[in-house]
Structure 1
Amino acid sequence: MIFDTDISGDVDDVLALAMLHTLQDRGQCNLLAVTISKVNPLTGPFTDAVNTFYGRPHIPIGITRKAQIRDSRYLPLVNEADNGVPRFPHALQENEAAPEAVETLRRTLAAQPDGSVVIIQVGLAVNVARLLQSPADSISELTGSELVRRKVRLLSVMAGSFEPIQGNHRYHEANVKNDIPSMQQLAELWPDDVPVVWSGFEIGIAVPYPRESIAADFDYVPHHLVKEAYLLHSGPAHDRPTWDLTSVLYAVFPDRGYFDVSVPGRVSVADDSYTSFETRPGGRDRYLTMNAQQAARVREALVQLVSQPPQGH
């Protein structure tokens, strides 16, 4: 798995990253790298702190240098200290010490067996769009598009909407509208023979993460980075939608019945950021659907996976 995230604004990215570590603890995935699609000087150190907390401080982290700048309510947690001792240890102290995201994507893909990698994209499409347009280089004689075609078996992406949202039939979802050209490039350039499954806005908003779990399930350590990030972002009285987590759950468990998927087709991104879906036999794209019974199962699965302590705790 490669996790491409805009960790900085919403807190669901943090929960999704914790979930990936839990899934790896269970032997159900292998987190190869994390690439970050928004600019904030603390994105790399914070991500490294999460990886370190879960016992994987050596996971490669790639940083975008030219994306939307984003303030954050929770990233400053990485600078907290107790009597001069960092509360959340991390080796990566600044983004400048991390490689660029496209370099990380190319290096990671080139090192993996053919047809083995799942990319989970839960933010802006800037990194994947640039990967698709990257030329052959010293890392690989393949272009980015060729690397994707050879190495990737699925792109699980949280973006867009495929049902009306509160009566709005042309909803402009944030991961699309905050970088429309990149999402258009992704939709246009992604190879036709590598499947893409979209989790629309309507899925995550139907599965809010329960505040009761935040209050009760993370106190096995005095300071928990995931819990404290959630509280700084959403407070103790809010059940935050699980948009990014749904793309992780599908990517790891596509056949467990947590979701259904649409018929095949093609997703297009309009200049106003609206994502439309056209049915097309043998099409590259599908999107997630979910009924009430599935939503209850998804919510319980997410709670258990996010709140599970790391190995050794």
Structure 2
Amino acid sequence: MEPLYKPGPEPVSFILDTDIGPDCDDAGAVAVLHALQRKGQLKTLGMMHCTSSPWGAGCLDAINSFYGEVAIPVGTLKIRGFLEGEPYAKYNREIAGSYQNRYPDGDAAPDATPLYRKLLADSPDGSVVIAAIGPLINLMHLLLSKADDISPLSGTELVAHKAKHLVVMGGAFPEGKEWNFEMHPEAAAYVCEHWPTSITFTGYEIGAAILTGSRLLSEAPADHPVRRSYASYLGEEQTRPSWDLTAVLYAAQGASDYWDIVRGRIRVDCASGANQWETDPQGPHAYLTKRMAPEALAALLDELMLQMP
């Protein structure tokens, strides 16, 4: 079946939206992003943090700085009480407090919604790929945003003009429940229903089978912030499923030889976050299914995470 999304020869203009903090695979996804950017496959326009944890923006900025990318804009959710507290700060507080960054306590980090609007408004039409690897609250706020001094377009209009594709690490396919959708069902349902470009979902079952991190923990320098993120989260464990890493890889390289796709349309329950799938060869949505052996994909992702600045 034809994919909805296929990268061209130029680097993909890319925005990452992440809940970095509750799970270490977000940090792994940022490491993969930097490796793919150095390969010339991604051009990172910005990153957004999508929980109320005050250390998410600083954690992102610290990892970016470690990789020598000190100028990447980083925005954050500016409401309180959403996934806030120790269960959602298992390593981001440590990283934000231990490495040089612009936002050690999050206060000075810009609001994600106007930063999204600026990055999109400044981009060519139909050029921006967004990968969401956490709850979709930032994207819902973007769609609901009004015309302002950044752009005369509403959020939905701006996305329709400037975005090329959305990649979502969320859902379980063909039906089920998954954490990112469950944490904010209203946002998941709204974005999946109203997002004006095509969407590809890399579901729970894809990343769950791809176990990475052991090489990072044994071979990366002890002061590597992504290694420290994995070590703080995992404790005595040596690997973690690669949910978020797959979304970044797909954004850069498409389905490639890694995955097959199923086209159709997703339906998300706005109360529970549970999703169902309607298969349609012409549908605006797609989800990934296994093609390459998970062990081979794990080896590829482990190698990308180990690429040093």
TM superposition score normalised by structure 2: 0.90
- 2:10 corresponds to: none
Counting only pairs closer than 5 Å after superposition, residues 240-259 of structure 1 correspond to structure 2 as 240-259=240-259
Structure 1 CA distance, aligned partners of 2:118 and 2:96? 30
- 2:203 corresponds to: 200
Structure 2 CA distance, aligned partners of 1:286 and 1:189? 15
1:37 CA drift (Å): 0.6
Q: CA 1:272–1:4 in 2, change beyond 3 Å: closer, same or farther?
A: same
Counting only pairs closer than 5 Å after superposition, residues 1-313 of structure 1 correspond to structure 2 as 1-66=14-79, 67-71=82-86, 72-78=89-95, 87-163=98-174, 171-191=176-196, 194-211=197-214, 213-219=215-221, 222-262=222-262, 264-270=263-269, 271-291=271-291, 293-310=292-309
User: Equivalent residue of 2:17, what SS?
Assistant: strand
Structure 1 CA distance, aligned partners of 2:15 and 2:96? 26
Structure 2 CA distance, aligned partners of 1:275 and 1:75? 29
1:144 CA drift (Å): 0.8
1:280 CA drift (Å): 2.6
Structure 1 CA distance, aligned partners of 2:223 and 2:91? 14
The one-letter code sitting in structure 2 at the alignment partner of 1:200 is: G
1:230 CA drift (Å): 0.3
The one-letter code sitting in structure 1 at the alignment partner of 2:183 is: N
The one-letter code sitting in structure 1 at the alignment partner of 2:94 is: L
Contact 1:159 1:176 in 2 (8 A): yes
Contact 2:216 2:305 in 1 (8 A): no
Structure 2 CA distance, aligned partners of 1:117 and 1:201? 24
Structure 1 CA distance, aligned partners of 2:138 and 2:40? 27
Structure 1 CA distance, aligned partners of 2:126 and 2:281? 23
1:307 CA drift (Å): 1.0
Q: CA 1:237–1:93 in 2, change beyond 3 Å: closer, same or farther?
A: closer
1:190 CA drift (Å): 0.8
Structure 2 CA distance, aligned partners of 1:245 and 1:210? 11
Structure 2 CA distance, aligned partners of 1:29 and 1:77? 28
Contact 1:258 1:297 in 2 (8 A): no
Contact 1:7 1:36 in 2 (8 A): yes
User: Equivalent residue of 2:161, what SS?
Assistant: helix
1:63 CA drift (Å): 0.8
- Partner deviation per Cα, 1:69-102 (whole Å, 9 max, x = no partner): 242121232355xxxxxx5211223322111111
The one-letter code sitting in structure 2 at the alignment partner of 1:136 is: A
- Partner deviation per Cα, 1:13-60 (whole Å, 9 max, x = no partner): 001011111111111101110001111111111111011001111111
Contact 1:215 1:236 in 2 (8 A): no
Structure 1 CA distance, aligned partners of 2:57 and 2:42? 22
Contact 1:159 1:175 in 2 (8 A): yes
Q: State the Cα RMSD in Å.
A: 1.5
Structure 2 CA distance, aligned partners of 1:171 and 1:10? 20
1:195 CA drift (Å): 1.2
- 1:83 corresponds to: none
Structure 1 CA distance, aligned partners of 2:189 and 2:195? 10
Structure 2 CA distance, aligned partners of 1:101 and 1:156? 18
Q: CA 1:309–1:236 in 2, change beyond 3 Å: closer, same or farther?
A: farther
Structure 2 CA distance, aligned partners of 1:215 and 1:42? 23
- Partner deviation per Cα, 1:173-207 (whole Å, 9 max, x = no partner): 1001110001011011111xx21000110000010
- Partner deviation per Cα, 1:98-127 (whole Å, 9 max, x = no partner): 111111111111111111110000001000
Q: CA 1:175–1:79 in 2, change beyond 3 Å: closer, same or farther?
A: closer
Structure 2 residue runs of 5 or longer lacking an equivalent are: 1-13
Percent identity between matched residues is 35
Structure 1 residue runs of 5 or longer lacking an equivalent are: 81-86, 164-169
User: Equivalent residue of 2:107, what SS?
Assistant: helix
